[in-house]
Chain A
Amino acid sequence: MTGPLLDIRDLSVAIKGTQILRDVSLKIEEGEIVALTGESGSGKSMTALATIGLLPQSVEVSGHLVLDGQDLGTLSERQLCDIRGRAIGMVFQEPMTALNPVQTIGAQVAETILIHTKTTRKEAEIRARTVLERVGLPADRFPLGRYPHELSGGQRQRVVIAMAIALRPRLLIADEPTTALDVTTQAQILELLRDLTRTEGMGLMMITHDLAVVSDLADRIAVMKNGEIVEQAPTRQLFEQMSHPYTKALFEASQHQADLPQAQCAPPLLRVQDVARDYPLPRRHPFAKRPYFRAVKGVRFDINHGERVGLVGESGCGKSTLTRAILGLDPVSAGQITLDGDPVYSSGQPNPMVQRQIQVVFQDPYGSFNPRHTVARLITEPFHLLPDPPQGAARSDAIAEALTAVGLSPDDAAKYPHAFSGGQRQRLAIARALIIKPKLIVFDEAVSALDVRVRAQILDLMADLSRHYGLAYLFISHDLGVVRSITDRVLVMQHGAIVEQGKTAEVFEHPNHPYTRALMDAAPKLPRIGGNGA
């Protein structure tokens, strides 16, 4: 055939007069992997949705989308339904919610086949079985009758991929397919996508915000900003040249190293001593003895005054359980957690004396604020932990100081959270943690939802604050690059136990435990070329 598989020419999209995409042009050849990258709101997903014809109904579209010589813009909705799933397959970001919870995986994969071909249900199921094998879900462990809730995130993503490739589409669109997955799972899914593209001769449009993910996967990369493609080139060339300053900025921010103050040789602040935590499981029958699941097994570590400690591990490893115990939200089943010698949880309830010394910043900058409260009210919430919280002028001074410390203005106190961007909200969350002058701040995936450039700024802010206030951090993240940039020491957790700990640089350079090594190998890395990527 002549011409590219997918040819997007001068695609523009506007919603109610607001330009979302501006003259986007992009070509994808058979068997080629093209990555679309950029920050949130840059128009990556819009380009994908436009290609598959699933834009919201109220948008105005101009330009040409040509697939295999056929202009998709001229097709009726009925014809588009025929294209979707047959000629174009799509994989979405959230494997946990992308599958219908009340249908078996077999039925959902077979559905793609049944919609587009004249087959019986039985034949469709046989073909579904073959496709599931192809994506690495063998029949003995994953019969067609399984339901999505019985599978892990990575397994669900395989089912979604199976649905998308069941009819061997010409083009596969993957919108952040691994963002919600652990690094080792991510590596497997990326490998699967690469393999499928090469062997089936599909074109792959890979959408991701993570430059490292695409650096050794994509043949070509297109960088988007504000609805425009600012630079596109073959992968190697792009990393070597980085002709557009925005590409360079993204690259630098992705491997940003915060300037940490020297770690002090201080006495231990937080001591976690042989902590275990059990969760009750449902009884097998009403009179059975209740079984327990040990989520955290004999964990022991210290955090010194002013020290930054990272905690890494994959989902389900017990990070969250341990965090809850450290924050005094849950009792422990065995062992003890103390801060400056005082237990965080004593005689059946959290110890308020200790709670005011530990504050937490969570991942989701949108979900962690009540939208109906002003900033002043939101960031003074921890004051309820104090025996006599500051009133009047003292209170306003505390608010102003906390807001200034995180790089916001004291005038912001009267505003509501919706007036702030994601990065600014995370600054607010840090201000809320700072306001009662804690000794330890727990960052629970606190920068995971942020764009790389914003993330770099927040990491710098954390380093500054640690320097100024002598704060100790417990930094929990699945992103090894971030942990490396902001911590002095790192703990690696697997199956509820700490399998390796040591100085961050040493653990990253010479991992001892096989699991740590597997994590490091699976983590996507940026090429050491171009810019200042040395």
Chain B
Amino acid sequence: MLAYLLRRLIALVLSLAVASVVIFLVVEVAPGDPASYMLGINAQPDTVAALRSELGLDVPKVQRYLTWVGGMLSGDFGTSYTYRTPISEMIADRLWISLPLALLALLLSTLIAFPAGLIAAARRGQGSDVGVMAATQLGVAIPNFWFAMLLVALFAIKLRWFPSGGFPGWDDPLKALKALTLPAIALALPQAAILTRVMRSSLIDIMGEDFMRTARAKGLSRRQALWHHGVRNALIPVLTIIGLQFSFLLAGAIIIEQVFFLPGLGRLVFQSITQRDLIVVESVVMLLVFAVITVNFAVDMAYAIADPRLRRRA
């Protein structure tokens, strides 16, 4: 188990190092100089040069890379070209919205998908299975921004249970949660539909296994066998999908953030790209990579907990 953990940790660090180099190179070779973009087309060359040196763009690339990575390691992400504020602060503000939103959406989708997948698998071919499968079909097909607008029309405008958008901050946690509820539901819907289908097919595969028959021969009822022997074995593919979904929810909520006027990470990336605020782009993308890799690491650990056979393997 320890060797497995160590191996995964080394893989994690290596992936981060490779990712940082790739991100730095990609952003550097992108056309467009931030200094001339910020000063406009009519700027004098010497003004641009002055700004370039102020922004630290005139030093060699290797040195800039090292400064960037070194800064990040000590928690200093640099200063935004556009807003002239520390990037760490900007990211922290946004993260306080994006992270709870992603977690809430993931929680919702898991809470829907587990029972739904279990019921569909246990009653395969019966009415409830057909119903669940039809619902997941719909869940995958409906665009979530449109679904978000329906939610706003019903719950915010008509019933006035939830605000229609914006974020009041975490001073009043209840208000903050209320503001995140509708976006979380909109984000969770397609994820829940996918997860339900994975859960169902994974369970159905497991139900055909020999050890399920052994469990029945011991005297377990169908339901007990499914619960005691099926679920944990069916978890591996489900965990994989949950890991992928979390990474997606963290950064991919950009459209939903737009619909609900939430100043989240997705919007920050979008704005920074349009304003050529390269160092913000670099830092946020690096942060997202970090999040994805850490989540994958957590998923790997969860695999090992769910399946003892993996603890031994490389």
A interface residue numbers (CB < 8 A to B) = 52, 54, 77-78, 81-86, 89-90, 92, 94, 97-103, 111-112, 115-116, 147, 149, 160, 163-164, 282-286
Given A100-B233, A111-B228, A284-B3, are A77 and B218 also a contact pair (CB < 8 Å)?
no
Determine whether the beta carbon of B213 is less than 8 Å from that of A115.
Answer: no
Which one of B6, B213, B214, B308 has the highest number of Cβ atoms from chain A below 10 Å of its Cβ?
B214
B 285-296 binary contact with A (CB < 8 Å = 1; else 0) = 000000000000
B211 part of interface (Cβ distance < 8 Å): yes
Give complex CA distance A92, B209 in Å. 12
Complex CA distance for A77 and B7, rounded to whole angstroms: 49
By the criterion CB–CB under 8 Å, are B218 and A98 in contact? no
Which residues of chain B come closer than 8 Å to A98, judged between CB atoms?
A: 210-211, 213-214
Interface: B314 (CB within 8 A): yes
Known: A82-B219, A115-B220, A286-B6. Is A101-B214 also a contact (CB below 8 A)? no
Cβ of A78 and Cβ of B221 under 8 Å apart? yes
Q: What residue in chain B is nearest A83 (Cβ atoms)?
A: B219
Known: A85-B218, A92-B210. A149 touches B229 (CB 8 A): no
Q: Which of B10, B216, B217 contacts A286 (CB 8 A)?
A: B10
Q: What residues of A have a CB within 8 angstroms of the CB of B307 in the complex?
A: 101-102
Given known A-B contacts A101-B307, A116-B219, A54 and B213 have beta carbons under 8 A apart: yes
Of the candidates B3, B217, B308, which one forms a contact with A84 in the assembled complex, judged by CB atoms under 8 Å apart?
B217
CA distance A98 to B209 in the complex (A): 8
Q: Is the CB of A84 within 8 A of B216?
A: yes
Binary A-proximity of B55-85 (CB < 8 A = 1, otherwise 0): 0000000000000000000000000000000
Q: How far is the CA of A112 from the CA of B228 in the complex (A)?
A: 12
* B212–chain A nearest beta-carbon distance, Å: 8
**Partner of A149 from B209, B210, B228, B309 at Cβ < 8 Å:** B309
* Chain A to chain B contacts (Cβ below 8 Å), 17 pairs: A54-B213, A54-B216, A54-B217, A92-B210, A92-B213, A92-B217, A94-B210, A100-B233, A101-B308, A101-B309, A102-B232, A102-B306, A102-B308, A115-B220, A149-B308, A149-B309, A285-B3
Q: A97-B211, A286-B7, A286-B10 are in contact. Are A103 and B229 (CB under 8 A)?
A: yes
List the B side residues contacting A84 at CB < 8 Å: 216-219
Chain B hits for A92, CB < 8 A: 210, 213-214, 217
Roughly how many angstroms separate A284 CA and B211 CA in the complex, as a whole number? 31
Q: In angstroms, how far is the closest chain A Cβ from the Cβ of B307?
A: 6
Q: How far is the CA of A197 from the CA of B214 in the complex (A)?
A: 20
Residues of B within 8 A of A100 (CB): 211, 214-215, 229, 233
> Contact at B221–A86, with CB atoms within 8 Å?
no
Give the distance in Å from the alpha carbon of A83 to the alpha carbon of B221 in the complex.
12
Closest A residue to B212 using CB positions: A100
Q: Is the CB of B233 within 8 A of A102?
A: yes
Q: Which of B191-246 contact A (CB under 8 A)?
A: 209-211, 213-221, 224, 228-229, 232-233
A163: nearest residue on chain B (CB-CB)? B218
Q: A86 near B219 (CB under 8 angstroms)?
A: yes
Is B158 engaged at the interface, CB distance under 8 Å to the other chain? no
Task: Report B123 CB to chain A, min CB distance, Å.
Answer: 12
| Assembled-state Cα–Cα distance A89/B314 (Å) | 38
B219 engages A81 (CB within 8 Å) = yes
- A282 in complex: contacting residue of B218, B308, B314, CB < 8 Å: B314
CA distance A15 to B229 in the complex (A): 28
